[in-house]
Amino acid sequence: MSAPLIIRGGKPLSGEVRVSPAKNAVLPILAASLLTPDPVELVEVPRLRDIEVMLELLAHLGTRYAWEGRRLYLETPEIRRTDAPYELVAKMRASFIVLGALLARTGEGSVSLPGGCAFGPRPVDQHVKALRKIGARVEEEGGRFQAERVRPFRGRVVFDVPTVGGTEQVLLATALGDAEVTLVNAAQEPEIADLARFLTRMGARIEGAGTSRIHVRGARRLSGVEDYRVIPDRIEAGTYLLAAAATRGRVRLVGAHPGHLDALLDKLHEAGHWIGIDGDRIELRATPDPRPFNVEAREYPGFPTDLQPIAGAYLATVPGTSLVSDRVYPERFTHAAELARMGAEIAIKERTLAITGRPLFGAEVRALDIRAGGALVVAALAAQGETRIEGTEHLKRGYEDLEEKLRALGAELGQAEPHLEEAAD
């Protein structure tokens, strides 16, 4: 179990922080490395627990990998196994997309029902429906999905709702081989466009990625890729911007992609904060008297669901009442009760949070998922007194070098003392 994070809040953040590469972009690209026997080289890969879990899964399937600093080298000369076991897939939802890569490379695959953060149901029905539509036989038994390619992948997939994982699944399944498929109502997230860019570098022909309509023509053979750099992590960037706003501080992000953060930047400007953009740099100078705003998280280019809990923590510091809802994951409110322990005035009614801003105070709280953890960090930085955050293993899944970056911005972090029962282990 990870040690708690101790934060002594009430101090404005100030300084500069470099944005890490996007975990949510790296994960599908790692799955895509299964599509070629040639070497793949990724630069500046974040060292996060979710990345480690995906690498464990790839190694099980036949991938050899090695780190050289922050460069990651992968090579899969052959697929040794086509099953993704429960003990690995249950740790992280994104691992389910290896099914598409296995279908493309070997014509078959078996993957357990995925796990991950526990903030509500996230079904894979759109994945299964799409694979069946283009020519795969998919059967489920005992929480395990067994898939087989019974004909060349052809056709048109119309997603009921835009789904990031489902869109990635089809891209991976169709990039290799004699496939020609059109995706309608596809997810438009930057991570989708980055995966398509990587697959195109490998030799696939993909048009329309980043829009709601994508056309894929597979290549009979995909090559390796050298020196590939993934996009910046827009969720990490947003977390630090919201932390600066919550503490009424001033931060400069380096290595960001401002265009991926339009929805958040617009809300922060609406609140009265000064936003400056210069190339890959974003600067926020917080106003001491911010205005409240409402948030409805939705698919990109809307407000990101991954920033919804963190925005809620920021709004808990803003005088006035704000309403927060989430169209992507309507039950994503595991952070609300923990924020209430810190004095936040929060009411949940009909899948909407009503947040009335007030001063927060330190308390002992627990992160139940990655972004709930991000929310508690933001609240703790703004709160008076000391906050002890348990469940930091979730933060390690999504935030690289969190403590070092917070200290660089002037945050005061304490040394966690273990509970007696922990010391006895």
Run of H or E residues at 254: strand 250-254
Is residue 335 a contact partner of residue 395, using CB atoms and an 8 Å limit? no
Q: How far apart are CA 392 and CA 370, in angstroms?
A: 9
Phi and psi, residue 180, nearest 5°:
-150, 110
Catalytic residue among 30, 117, 199, 261: 117
Q: What secondary structure letter does DSSP report for 344?
A: -
Q: Are strands 144-149 and 136-141 parallel, antiparallel or unpaired?
A: antiparallel
Selection from 91, 92, 60 nearest residue 76 by Cα: 60
List of E strands, 102-153? 108-112, 136-141, 144-149
Q: How far apart are CA 30 and CA 16, in angstroms?
A: 30
Helical segments of 272-385, H only: 308-315, 336-341, 370-382
- Dist CA 159 CA 126 (whole Å): 7
CB-CB contact of 37 with 78 (8 Å):
yes
Tokens of 121: 């149901």
For the question of residue 27 being annotated catalytic, the response is: no
Which residues are CB-contacts of 376 (< 8 A; sequence separation ≥ 6)?
313, 335, 338, 339, 365, 367, 387, 389
Residues 6+ apart with CB under 8 A from 421: none
Which run of H or E residues covers position 215? strand 213-217
Q: Would you call 9 exposed, middle or buried from its count of C-beta atoms within 10 A (0-12, 13-18, 19+)?
A: buried
- The residues that are catalytic are 117
